[in-house]
Amino acid sequence: MTSPFPDAAGRVTEAAWHADADLLASYATGTADPVVVWSVEAHLAGCAQCRSALSAHADAERLARNRSVLLVRVAVPGGGRMRRLLCRCGVPDHLLRLLAATPSLRRSWLLSVLGVVAVVTGEAAAVRYGWIRADRTGRLAGYPDPEVLAPFLLAAPLLVLAGVAAAFLPSFDPAFRLAVAAPFSGFTLLLVRSVSALAAALIPVVGAAFVVPGPGWLPAALLLPSLTVCAFALAAATVLEPRAAAVTAGALWALPALLLAAAHLPLAIVQPNAQFACAAVLCAAAAVLLARHDRFEWGGMR
């Protein structure tokens, strides 16, 4: 053949050149160089003679293989707009696929949504039936009477923790053994799942913080405690059995929250001193996780 490349104007003129048998064979078997493949395809689009010559090189076995690969690609769920958006934001496609195939994330999301709805409905019902006083404007007697918030403050980080625990506890992953025996880092898998479960659970919890009566900074003030409780659970799981780690983390939040509520100071659990304490625990948990993350590479979380 004369030249595999189109002329300067980008046009391929009929009969200017034709792909020879060797070139068509290498194209048909997939052994041709990608640049050559590109130019052959550009040429084939406008040359009926080469298209019919190509059909002689079509390999039935290869076609059958391509067909079954195509069937597999159709059978693997593609994911919707959210996935395309995240893909465009630079999140690797295989990580998104991994997340899409982690059903415990749906459970995390459902758990936190249901939990938040239950707590908020509970508080609304309490106001409706007069168990909690409402002020004259009909709004919840909120910030001046912060005890209204005690159940929500207790539950919010626990709901986030429950969501994250559902994503990392091996008992929620039926394919756990397969995941452990695979080279994909167990710690990376754990982090990817936990971070996405954290995000999924934080949305309804923080959203509810806007709805319940309380200071305007409440939604922001819940972020650090929620993150800390989850990080503590992960760090503790490098030492304890994972379920025990999650329960311990929950208890470490519930105890001071209950004590402060009993002392009529429920908001203190998210006020500056507590935030500092949370930051300190978060740093310590991160250090433990970094030092001991190798534990997650064993199925030996016995």
Partner 1 sequence: MTLNVSTAAVGVNGLSRRYGATQALDRVDLTLERGITGLLGPNGAGKTTLLSILATVNEPDTGRVSVFGLDPRQAAERVEIRRRLGYLPQELGYHRHFTVAGFLDYVAILKEITDRRRRAEEVARVLAAVGLEGRARTRIRALSGGMRQRLGIAQALLGEPELLILDEPTAGLDPEQRLRFRELLSGLPGDPVIVLSTHQADDLAAICPQVVVLLQGQVRFTGTPAELAATAAGRVWAADERDGRAHLSWRGGDNRWRHIGDHPPGGAELVAPTVEDGYLLLSQAAGAR
176 touches partner 1 (CB under 8 A): yes
Stretch that binds partner 1, among 62-70, 203-211, 225-233, 270-278 (CB under 8 A): 62-70
With contact defined as beta carbons under 8 Å apart, do 231 and 289 qualify?
yes
- Which tokens in the block code for residue 185? 């880092």
CA distance linking residue 54 with residue 285, whole number of Å = 63
Stretch that binds partner 1, among 10-18, 31-39, 171-179, 218-226 (CB under 8 A): 171-179
Q: Please identify which residue in 21, 56, 114, 182 interacts with partner 1, judged by CB under 8 A.
A: 182
Nearest CA to 143 among 84, 217, 86, 85? 217
Q: How far is the CB of 106 from partner 1 (least distance, A)?
A: 9
Stretch that binds partner 1, among 52-60, 66-74, 191-199, 217-225 (CB under 8 A): 66-74
Q: What angle do CA 207, 210, 214 make, to 5 degrees?
A: 140
Stretch that binds partner 1, among 36-44, 86-94, 153-161, 215-223 (CB under 8 A): 86-94
Which residue number, 51 or 292, has a Cβ lying nearer to partner 1?
292
With contact defined as beta carbons under 8 Å apart, do 160 and 202 qualify?
yes
Provide the 3-class DSSP secondary structure of residue 92. Answer: coil
CA distance linking residue 160 with residue 277, whole number of Å = 19
Which residue number, 62 or 128, has a Cβ lying nearer to partner 1?
62
80 touches partner 1 (CB under 8 A): no
Q: How far is the CB of 33 from partner 1 (least distance, A)?
A: 17
Burial of 130 (0-12, 13-18, 19+ CB in 10 A): exposed
List the beta strands (DSSP E) in the chain.
none
Q: Please identify which residue in 38, 139, 185, 283 interacts with partner 1, judged by CB under 8 A.
A: 185
CA distance linking residue 213 with residue 258, whole number of Å = 19
136 touches partner 1 (CB under 8 A): no
User: Interface residues with partner 1 (CB under 8 A)?
Assistant: 65, 68-77, 92-94, 97-98, 101, 103, 173-185, 189, 294, 297-300
